[in-house]
Amino acid sequence: MNPEELLYCETHEWVSITDEGGSKTATVGISKFAVEQLTDLVFMELPEPGAEVAAGDEFGEVESVKAVSSLYAPVAGKILEVNHDLPNNLETLSEDPYDKGWIIRLAVSDDSALSTLLDYQAYQKQCAAEE
């Protein structure tokens, strides 16, 4: 996925929306900047498919040698798929955060939160301010 075409949360999750015949699917991951800030990753805790999340809900955790960080859902929906390979291959998140490093896929139930997300430019600005 091209990072310039994604939407971002202030909490560093990215989301990509695909629309197939009116039903929207969201793929969610965390940005390269976030992975770099976390430094060496140690553990990851992921949900099971089937769970319902609201926008802003915590759906998992990633732990680095520095800290434990929560993962927040950018939009509301039902979890369709979870990238269960990630916890045992955390290097995937560092090497390929926008493709192989995807974390969950959601069947979007309410996309109103999308309008509050940042585009690539705005997100880059936020990262520069945080660095």
Partner 1 sequence: MRWQTALPTRNNLRQSMRNRLATQPLFDLSKPGRRGTRLPKCDVPVQDLEQLLPAWAQATEPPGLPEVTEPEVVRHFTNLSTLNMSVDTHFYPLGSCTMKYNPKRNERLAGTPGIVNLHPYQPEDTIQGMLQLLYELQEMLAEISGLPAVSLQPAAGAHGELTALMVAGAHFRESGELRTKVLTPDSSHGTNPASARMAGFESVMIKSSESGFVDMDDLRSKLDEQVAVFMITNPNTLGIFDHQVSEISDLVHKSGGLIYLDGANMNAILGVTRPGDFGADMMHFNPHKTFSGPHGGGGPGAGPICVNEALGAYLPVPVVASDGEHYRLVYDRPRSIGQVRSFFGNVGVLVRAYCYILSHGPDGLRRVSENAVLNANYLLSRVRHILPVPHGSRCMHEFVATASDLKKKSGVTAMDLGKRLLDYGFHAPTVYFPLTVPECLMIEPTETESKETLDAFAEALFRITEEPAELLHETPHSTYTSRPDEVTAARKPQLKWSGPSGTDKKDH
Q: CA–CA separation, 27 vs 15, rounded Å? A: 5
Residue range at the interface with partner 1 (CB under 8 A); choices 12-20, 62-70, 95-103, 114-122? 62-70
Q: Is residue 84 close enough to count as binding partner 1 by CB under 8 A?
A: no
Instruction: Write down the least CB distance from residue 65 to partner 1, Å.
Output: 4
Please answer whether residues 12 and 33 qualify as being in contact, where contact means their C-beta atoms are separated by less than 8 angstroms. yes
CB closer to partner 1 out of 42 and 122: 42
Q: Which amino acid is at 129?
A: A
DSSP labels for 24-35?
EEEEEEE-HHHH
Q: CA–CA separation, 68 vs 81, rounded Å? A: 23
Which residue of 20, 50, 121, 131 would you call a contact of partner 1, by CB under 8 A? 131
Instruction: Write down the least CB distance from residue 31 to partner 1, Å.
Output: 15
Residue range at the interface with partner 1 (CB under 8 A); choices 23-31, 39-47, 96-104, 112-120? 39-47
Dihedral sign, Cα of residue 104, residue 115, residue 32, residue 24: positive
Which residue of 42, 54, 95, 99 would you call a contact of partner 1, by CB under 8 A? 42
